[in-house]
Chain A
Amino acid sequence: MLTIQAQEQATKETVQTGWFNGMTLGLDVSGPASLLINGSGTGAVKMDVNVRNKYFPTIELGRAKWDKTNDLAHRFQTVGNFAKIGLNLPISIKGDRAENAFLAGIHYGYSRFSYDIDNILLDNYWGSTALRLQDETARVGWLELSLGVRVRAFGPIGLGWTFQYKRSLHQKNGSHSVPSYIPGYGQNTKPSAGIQAFIYIPLFP
């Protein structure tokens, strides 16, 4: 015979997880922090749908700004949008609607952007020549593997972070250059890695 406590627990455990088990909005906070620290950063918003606490399809839209001068005094500037789409799978969850979760994901990211490179000095027999490349256009698609955690912190509001491992799949460079930075991807290295921190807000129900 079950005690009252056990009965309540059993009731909780039998709460049905339907096909649609909630939607969560994530607001990137590490990108704006990077903007304050480095003068370059990303702002992003993502949405994921909880499907039976088993699948979390996700979409992320963002905008990035990069303004960096390297050791050779070359100044690279870009402002561009990016989008990512993918699927997260739970490694571990707690809560009826996976309010606390450890997730692994795979995403496809894409960005089409323009950029300027300034203060390029070309030295040869004929002297030192200053060059400027303006309105170069590039587009890049990449694969992203992620590991992330989100936990409920203040009432329904959650906090979390995501570690991302990225590798570009296809890249069309500018007509006179290879872009040094790709919005949403980061510095143009193969591979690239990064961490994002988010505030999570459950939307439905």
Chain B
Amino acid sequence: MWKRNYSRIRFFVCLTGLAGILSACASMGCYEDNSVRLQVGFYQQSSSSLVAIDSVSIWGVGSDSLLYNNKSLQTFELDLNPLSNETRYVIRVQDGLFRMQDTLTIRHQNQPWYESSDCGCVLHSSIDTCFTSETLFESVTIQERQVQSNDIQHILLNI
């Protein structure tokens, strides 16, 4: 049974308001890890395996803060500089009074990726070249140039 015009108009006005409110849908939340870092490992060529090194400290060239302070590391993560195409880190190993350090230089192209309004932006990068000053490490191997995931080793520092 169709209602009178007044009831129809009231019903229509309510739905119009509801439509306006419903158009702002609730947030879905972010369920993904939205930070991507360069995954680095210490690699011993003689045993063809990753190796742990004690008393490692790492900091960025141009930064005052230590990323790793006197830690035993086999693999570790580094942030690439979002404002530059070159990122440099000092890696120091302290063994008693014996201290050696090397500088790792990574040249890369930054590709910010905005995933969603809930997850925000992550920095994807593409590695062009990678080298050290060869005082501590023999060479660097780039295993994966695309820094878009934390699940794989991107570079290996060969000792």
Contacts and interface: CB of A to CB of B under 8 A. Distances in A.
Contacts, number: 125
A94 B2 contact: yes
Contacts of B116: 178, 180, 188
Interface in B2-58: 2, 5, 8-9, 12, 15-25, 27-28, 35, 37
Interface stretch (B79-87, B93-101, B148-156): B79-87
Contact of A151 (B2, B63, B67): B2
Interface in A113-127: 117, 120-122, 124-126
A27 interface: no
A21 interface: no
Contacts of B113: 176-177
A159 B114 contact: no
A11 interface: no
A187 B20 CA distance: 14
B15 A161 contact: yes
Contact of A176 (B22, B23, B24, B112): B112
Interface stretch (A48-56, A69-77, A81-89, A139-147): A69-77
Contacts of B65: 125
B102 to A, nearest CB: 19
B9 A153 contact: yes
Nearest to B22: A195
Interface in B112-128: 112-118, 120-121, 123
Given A122-B82, A126-B79, A133-B112, A33 B25 contact: no
B20 A30 contact: yes
Nearest to A125: B79
18 contacts: A29-B16, A33-B16, A34-B19, A37-B17, A40-B23, A70-B27, A70-B117, A70-B118, A120-B120, A122-B121, A125-B65, A126-B83, A129-B83, A153-B5, A153-B12, A194-B22, A195-B22, A197-B16
Contacts of B23: 30-31, 34, 38, 40-42, 186, 194
A189 B117 CA distance: 11
